[in-house]
């Protein structure tokens, strides 16, 4: 596959914890819970990355070595929060503390089988709240003053609207031509889910 595609990227932010508009949490009977993965595990993080992003062309980390995954995950202020439904990972949100009280939501998404089931709004709400209180878990870090992220037109069709419903505001929009890359699927040789 060759050619190019026009991609729009939106950068969004919250500048106060009061900006967060939480989604309704799933009822207890659904078995959905969100838990922090406190042990740095390159295998598990790469699984989440490929399982969530394989059909929406997440490719920037596919070439990362085990050592690079470990180095990133062990950095102070990097956290992975995983949504589970009855013992099965449904999605995740990855946070990275940055200078001047900023926290980036680096990755967020659901495995394809869990999309459209009202888990994403809850996971984003929960992850954003953890971005706002991240300094409480990392002694010596300054309090969070800004939570930000970016999404693009290659992400799911509801991504931008979900962020805006949670209280994020667009502060920059960019459009660029990118090489047309096939979605890699969740593992080598596995195409995108249809």
Domain-located, residue 64: yes
Domain-located, residue 151: no
Give dist(CA 170, CA 19) in Å, integer.
Answer: 13
Total domain count for the chain? 1
Domain-located, residue 189: no
pLDDT along the chain (194 residues), means of 10: 84 98 88 96 96 88 95 97 96 97 97 91 97 96 97 87 96 92 68 48
Domain-located, residue 54: yes
Give dist(CA 64, CA 182) in Å, integer.
Answer: 19
Task: Using the structure block, give the residue that is written with the tokens 């490719």.
Answer: 59
Write out the residue range of the structural domain in which residue 71 sits.
Answer: 21-144
Helix (H) or strand (E) holding 171: strand 169-179
The crossing angle, in degrees rounded to 10, of helices 42-53 and 66-73 is: 100
Domain-located, residue 45: yes
Domain-located, residue 164: no
Q: Which CATH number do you get for residue 38? A: 3.40.630.30
pLDDT at 178: 86
Domain-located, residue 167: no
Domain-located, residue 36: yes
């Amino acid at each position: 596959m060759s050619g190019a595609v026009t991609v729009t990227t939106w950068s969004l932010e919250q500048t106060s914890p009061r900006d967060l508009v939480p989604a309704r949490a799933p009822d207890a009977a659904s078995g959905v819970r969100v838990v922090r993965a406190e042990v740095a595990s390159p295998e598990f993080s790469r699984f989440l990355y490929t399982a969530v992003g394989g059909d929406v062309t997440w490719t920037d980390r596919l070439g990362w070595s085990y050592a690079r995954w470990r180095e990133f995950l062990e950095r102070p202020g990097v956290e992975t929060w995983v949504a589970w439904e009855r013992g099965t990972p449904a999605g995740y949100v990855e946070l990275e503390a940055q200078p001047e009280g900023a926290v980036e939501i680096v990755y967020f998404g659901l495995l394809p089988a869990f999309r459209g089931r009202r888990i994403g709004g809850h996971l984003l709400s929960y992850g954003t709240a953890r971005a706002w209180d991240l300094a409480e878990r990392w002694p010596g870090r300054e309090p969070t003053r800004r939570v930000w992220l970016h999404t693009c037109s290659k992400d799911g069709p509801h991504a931008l609207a979900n962020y805006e419903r949670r209280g994020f505001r667009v502060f920059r929009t960019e459009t660029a031509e990118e090489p047309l890359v096939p979605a890699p699927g969740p593992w080598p040789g596995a195409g995108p889910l249809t």
